[in-house]
Amino acid sequence: MSPLLFSLFVEDLEMFLQHNIESGLTIDDVLLILLLFADDMAILGKNSEEVQNHLDNLLVYCNTWGLKVNTSKTKIMVFRKRGRLHQNEAWTYDGQIIETVDNFNYLGTVIHYTGSFTFNQEHLVGKALKAMNTLLYKCKMYDLKPKTLCQLFDAFVGSILNYASEIWGFTKSKEIERIHLKFCKRMLQVRLNSCNACVYGELGRYPLYINRFIRMLKYWFKIRLSDNIILQTVYNMNVVECHKGNINWVSHIKQLLNDYGYGYVFNNPSSVCVNSFICQFRNRLIDTFKQEWFGTLSNSTVLDMYRVFKPTIVYESYLDLLPRSLRTQFVKLRISVHSLRIQTGRYGRNNIPRNERYCVCCNSRDIEDEFHFVCICPCFSVLRQKYLKSITNY
């Protein structure tokens, strides 16, 4: 109720700030002077003089209606390509100098003066890392299944990493994916340098950029179908700039569709059903990633055993069936992050040739790989007789 009442109270603020007919940013026939959300306000101006006039008018308005502006939280950002501000570019409110910044967090999104979203991604990664550590700490006291933990990650951490990704999510962002993989590996209790493809495969997970790309396309369709004059005007201007070869949000949408073979949709979006196309595009993203995943397994010299029994990316049921201690050891054996000679022999300066990594527990002169460890090595015959006999008889 309070935000609504405040919005009604300051309804005439925009007209008050418009000291002349040319003030504000004009986009075709649309005039933008300020943006309001609850008690947050962003004032727009074409030059330094206009911004100062807006601030002076805002002071008169606030004094008239008994409002106060928190100048310590008020910042000014000048959008430009590069370079420093001129010495005469300084602004004051009620005699106090307003700080000029290179980036500003507006409604949870960090906006840089160049239009880059690199700082925004760094900001989200920092927040997500804190949320992930808190989640793992809170869940440590409960024996939760990995599938449940993945769902909690998507709800509490993934939502942070994908915040406002409709605007900035056109990159695959290794920094963001690193948080995702770090969580998965800590949950499986394997080393951070474990093979990413194996981690995706065991948990049936896909990179977060797939959801970001889908959200961008959904937002694009939404804008195309919107009757909001401001959105339509800004979008049409971006389309014109895109056709000129300039890089903007629309050009990223166009490139995204082209990269996955749907360039015709950009030119004629009404030719497809939105819901069915979104599903089709999602499947194309997943299929493309699966091809990359298969390529990683095929080119790996470490995952010989893994690609034999892992035909596709799917959540493995043993993760929920085994207790945590056994689950961890089984995962390490499957994805080859164990201490068998076939792996440890390739480390260090004096790495041993693959065909000479013999078992150190027996004198069989057999290579100490997963098959030798589970089925052959006589040192583990008692355990093999106890645990494997019932499986082979079954």
- For residue range 329-386, what is the model confidence (pLDDT) as tens digits? 889 888 888 888 887 787 777 688 888 888 888 888 888 888 888 888 888 888 877 7
Whether the CB-CB separation of 33 and 54 falls below 8 Å is answered with yes
Kindly report each contact of residues 136-141 with a partner whose C-beta sits within 8 Å and lies 24 or more positions away, as own/partner.
Answer: 136/183, 136/186, 136/187
The per-residue pLDDT of the chain, averaged, comes to 88
pTM of the entire structure? 0.85
Of 156-160, 243-247, 362-366, the range with the lowest mean pLDDT is 362-366
pLDDT band at 28 (very low <50, low <70, confident <90, very high): low
Classify burial at 385, counting beta carbons within 10 Å of its beta carbon; exposed 0-12, middle 13-18, buried 19 or more.
exposed
User: Average pLDDT in the 131-150 region?
Assistant: 92
Predicted confidence at residue 389, as pLDDT, reads 63
For residue 120, what pLDDT band results from cuts at 50, 70 and 90?
very high
pLDDT confidence tier of residue 157, bands split at 50, 70 and 90: very high
Q: Residue 329's closest CA among 301, 145, 337, 317?
A: 337
Nearest to 189 by CA among 309, 78, 328, 307: 328
Reading the block at residue 389, the tokens are 């006999």
Residue 394 has a pLDDT of: 39
pLDDT higher than threshold 70 for residue 19: no
**Residues 174-178, mean pLDDT to the nearest whole number:** 95
* β-bridge mates for residue 91, sequence order: 98
Closest CA to 228 of 38, 36, 42, 30: 30
Nearest residue to 76 (alpha-carbon basis) of 109, 47, 107: 47
Share of the chain above pLDDT 70, in %: 95
Label residue 23 by pLDDT band (50, 70, 90).
Answer: low
